[in-house]
Amino acid sequence: MQTKQLKIRVITITTIIFALALFRLLPHLPNVSPVAAMALFGGAYFADKRMAFVVPFVALFVSDLVLGLHNSMIFVYAGFALTVVIGFQLQKRLTVTNTAFAVVASSVLFFLLTNFGAWMTSGLYAKTAAGLMQAYAAGIPFFQNSLLGNAVYAAVIFGGYHLLQKNIAVLKEPALK
């Protein structure tokens, strides 16, 4: 019975993550997307750490194939991987406060990495400290949108999955051994 329960949980979590990736393909404000929420959710709910990385990364990559690839993707994927790791920290401490902190922390981390990547790869900014600060300043409006998107998507999926767990027996957390 526990194997069936685990399979249903994995399928449900995977489906949620791929559904979120589809939202990236719909019209939206710049950077108001479910990227960090996908990574946090995978890190928080997949018991298998490999699955926590593989499923969100595959979903992200498939949506990136549709949206287009770019020079600074390595920085986006690094931020995504670190967000999965932040999600691991939620596994045994999943509360609204901890999740909110994880959303903010992952948003800041993603902002720092991706704007550093834009500075490094775009050719728009001088390769000086002043150029790096220009890249960060230019990214502030996108950061605000990213934080908004991360907060909304995380609230919906973490809250929604919590409600599913309360109402669908096979999704409840298995007893710790």
What number is the average pLDDT over the span 148-167?
94
What is the pLDDT confidence band of residue 175, given thresholds at 50, 70 and 90?
very low
Of all residues in the chain, what percent carry a pLDDT higher than 70? Answer: 97
Q: Please check whether residue 84 is in contact with residue 60, taking contact to mean a CB–CB distance below 8 angstroms.
A: no
Whole-prediction pTM:
0.89
Spatial distance between the Cα atoms of 77 and 154, rounded to a whole number of angstroms: 19
Give the largest CA-CA distance in the chain. Answer: 60
- pLDDT value at position 65? 92
Report CA 58 to chain centroid distance, whole Å.
Answer: 12
What is the pLDDT confidence band of residue 174, given thresholds at 50, 70 and 90?
low
Contacts 24+ apart (CB under 8 A), 4-9: 4/170, 5/170, 5/174, 6/47, 6/174, 8/170, 8/171, 9/45, 9/170, 9/171
- pLDDT value at position 72? 82
In tens, the pLDDT along 106-145 reads 999 999 999 999 999 988 999 999 999 999 999 999 999 9
Q: For the packed helices 2-23 and 35-45, what is the interaxial angle rounded to 10 degrees?
A: 170
3-state secondary structure of 115: helix
Residues 8-34 as b or e (16 or more Cβ within 10 Å = b): ebbebbbebbbebbebbeeeeeebbbb
- pLDDT value at position 136? 97
Amino acid 85 reads V
